[in-house]
Amino acid sequence: MTGIEILDPGLEGLLSRVELPRRVIRIRRRGKYIIFELDRGFLVMHLRITGRLILGELRGPETRAILRFRGASLSFLDRRRMATAEFVEDISWLEAKLGPEPLGDLSWLPGALKRSRRPIKVWLLDQKNIAGIGNIYASEVLFVAGIDPRRPANSLSEEEAVRLSRAIREVLSEAIAHRGTTFSDYRDSSGDPGGYQEFLRVYCRAGKPCKRCGTPIERIELGGRGTFFCPRCQR
């Protein structure tokens, strides 16, 4: 990383404290965080609802910073200015607040569910339980698994917990293959929208017929988040 042009004063104290240039060892994801691992320290970003990282230099009212590398630039855009970006010396604090990855080994899941009475949808959204599942995919996962989002986590049988594990992998793998879901702001690094919204089974389909049984999809609030499900397919 050869330089950073900060266009949002709110990022000045977080991004200007590092000495540049620094070599990028690798870029990885942990939960919903993007981590630039540097030769000294880390640049940690969370895009939240409207944050985007686009290749090239894009200047406009949404641009908060431009990250420069040898031979390339990356624009950090965020219409609602909710995304975060910060240089830190270590990321032990991040590991402490995040649960296991959803695409890893989920053999621990049945036992973990038995320890909670929270609605399973709310449990899935808690990043301390499992890192990286957002509101859209939690609704989709529970539909694929055939589980009512209102059920207490500890009410799931062993067989249902195994179905849930499979559904997590299936839905997230599909979403990745279709480059994510775009309703408004989300774009990939090339500036293109995702395509998974065309394949959603329940999310944002309230009142429309279930693609499996034809029953109207219902919308409720759980944990302050809109939750979509089929009252017939999900038990």
> Of the candidates 123, 125, 141, which has an alpha carbon nearest to the alpha carbon of residue 133?
125
Give the residue-averaged pLDDT of 182-199. 92
Question: Could you tell me if residue 37 is inside a domain?
Answer: yes
- Residue 77 has a pLDDT of 97
pLDDT tens digits, 197-224: 999 999 999 999 999 999 999 999 999 9
Q: Is residue 89 part of a domain?
A: yes
User: Is 119 in the same domain as 93?
Assistant: no
| pLDDT of amino acid 73 | 97
Contacts (Cβ under 8 Å, ≥6 apart) of 7: 59, 63, 64, 65, 66
pTM of the full predicted structure?
0.93
End-to-end CA gap in the chain:
51
CATH, residue 63: 3.20.190.10
Provide the pLDDT for residue 16.
85
Q: What are the start-end ranges of the H helices in 83-157?
A: 92-97, 109-113, 120-125, 135-145
Cα(92)–Cα(119) distance, integer angstroms: 29
Range of weakest confidence among 53-57, 151-155, 186-190, 223-227: 186-190
Has residue 209 been placed in a domain? yes
Residues 26 and 75 placed together within one structural domain of the fold? yes
Q: Residue 192's domain is classified under what CATH number? A: 1.10.8.50
Mean pLDDT of the chain: 96
Are 207 and 134 contained in the same domain? yes
Q: How far is it, in rounded angstroms, from Cα 27 to Cα 66?
A: 17
Do the domain assignments include residue 55?
yes
Mark whether 84 and 120 lie in a shared domain: no
| Boundary-marking domain end, from 97, 127, 154 | 97
Tell me if residue 138 falls in helix, strand or coil.
helix
CA 33 from chain centre, in angstroms, equals 8
Residues 131 and 188 placed together within one structural domain of the fold: yes
Q: Which of 97, 127, 146 is the last residue of a domain?
A: 97
Model pLDDT, residue 33: 97
Domain boundary at 66, 97, 128, which? 97
What would the mean pLDDT of 117-123 be, rounded to a whole number? 98
Same domain as 129, residue 224? yes
Please, are residues 144 and 107 in contact by the beta-carbon 8 Å criterion? Answer: no
Q: What percent of the chain has pLDDT over 90?
A: 94
Closest CA to 225 of 128, 110, 103, 133: 133
Tens-place pLDDT, residues 62-116: 999 999 999 999 999 999 999 999 999 999 999 999 999 999 999 999 999 999 9
Note the pLDDT tens digit of each residue in 12-61. Answer: 988 988 889 999 999 999 999 999 999 999 999 999 999 999 999 999 99
Which structural domain range is residue 115 located in? 109-229
Residue 225 counted as domain residue: yes
Residues 154, 214, single domain; the answer is yes
Longest Cα–Cα distance of the chain, Å, equals: 59
Q: What is the count of structural domains for the chain?
A: 2
| pLDDT score of 17 | 80
For the record, the structure tokens of 78 come out as 């965020």
Report, as an integer, the average pLDDT of 135-142: 98
pLDDT reported for residue 44 = 97
pLDDT at residue number 79? 94
Question: Do 84 and 114 belong together in one domain?
Answer: no
Single-letter residue type at 33: Y
